[in-house]
Amino acid sequence: MSVYINNFNSIGRGNVGLFEYYFDLGESNVDTMLQAVRDGETVWTVDKNSGVTVGDINIFMCAVTSKDNINGIKTYVRNELGKEENRFYDEECRLYKKYAGTLMAIGIVKDMPYTDERMAFVPFDRIKGFDNPVPYSEFRDFISVSKTGSMTSVGYKEYVQLLSIIKKYNPGIDLSEFERDPYASVQVKTLKRAPESNRISVTSASTVEKEKTTEMTAAECINMFPVGCRVEHKTFGNGVVKENCEKRITIDFEDGEQRCLGGDFCVKNGLLKKI
């Protein structure tokens, strides 16, 4: 078994990142993690090649850079977006001011991850949130959180130190089930592609369930969105399909940006249509 810090950031650089989540899901990653704490379980994305396996301990961290990134889109939000988007933005600013650069929660991998072409979807349970999130400054001297990937492996000695700091910030929290030696029994497993009958279907930001899904083929995706056709995306607006290969649809949008979108995800969630 292993311990990881999962460093997540739902606010990409530029004006779009946060609002991809808002328009598609109605909330941000921080909102989703807070809901996971209330539910005690969730399904979370991790690096496909991270090697996580059942029983691994995962500590969820909101990226240090997320607060700066959200502040950086303020002018765009105020000048270009409506009342509801501004309300959402103000609430997220409050949340990211509290959680950016901190450890928010801890959980255990419940089942083997399911993978698609790019990501691994990991079921977690026994999730416990930290009423007082732990700032990176408290542990950066002995753990260097990766800046190039979402997952940072934590050694046993460092994990014991980190648990002590978490309990110092949250003296009433019961972490007894996380105080075992996660490295006492090492199991090596590889990520497996989910069988078609057991894929994870994201029905909302806070409700992720396994259900039977029928994915379209690459040929069906090409027929739906052939190269050269005009399309409309709920978040990004109108554009023209430049490439459609292996259900990855590259679109030149009218805002001047070119984006590569997952065909299955767009169709399943009603995000993209031909016009």
Least confident of 130-134, 169-173, 188-192, 270-274: 188-192
Q: What is the pLDDT of residue 261?
A: 75
Q: Which of 25-34, 74-83, 96-105, 202-211 has the lowest mean pLDDT?
A: 202-211
Specify the pLDDT at position 206.
38
Contact partners, residue 80, CB within 8 Å, separation at least 6: 15
Distance in angstroms (rounded) separating the CA atoms of residues 173 and 40: 14
Residues 86-112 have a mean pLDDT of 92
Confidence (pLDDT) at 237: 84
Query: What is the average per-residue pLDDT within 23-40?
Result: 83
> If pLDDT is split at 50, 70 and 90, which confidence band does 252 have?
confident
**Cβ within 8 Å of residue 196, ≥6 positions away:** 212, 213, 214, 215
What percent of the chain is modeled with pLDDT above 90? 37
Note the Cα 49 to chain centre separation in Å: 15
- Hunting for tokens 């209330």 — which residue is that? 38
Which of 58-67, 136-145, 179-188, 223-232 is predicted least confidently? 179-188
b/e per residue, 144-168, with b = 16+ CB within 10 A?
A: ebeeeebbbebeeeebebbbeebbe
State yes or no: pLDDT of 247 exceeds 60.
Answer: yes
Q: What is the pLDDT of residue 185?
A: 47
For the record, the structure tokens of 120 come out as 């691994």
Pick from 77, 108, 85: nearest CA to 4:
108
Considering the chain, what is the average pLDDT of its residues? 80
Q: Has residue 9 got a pLDDT over 80?
A: no
CA angle 68, 18, 235 (to 5 degrees): 150
What is the reported pLDDT for 236? Answer: 75
| 15-35 average pLDDT score | 70
Which residues pair with residue 3 across a beta bridge?
57, 154
> Which domains occur in the chain, in start order?
3-182+197-210 (no CATH), 218-274 (2.40.10)
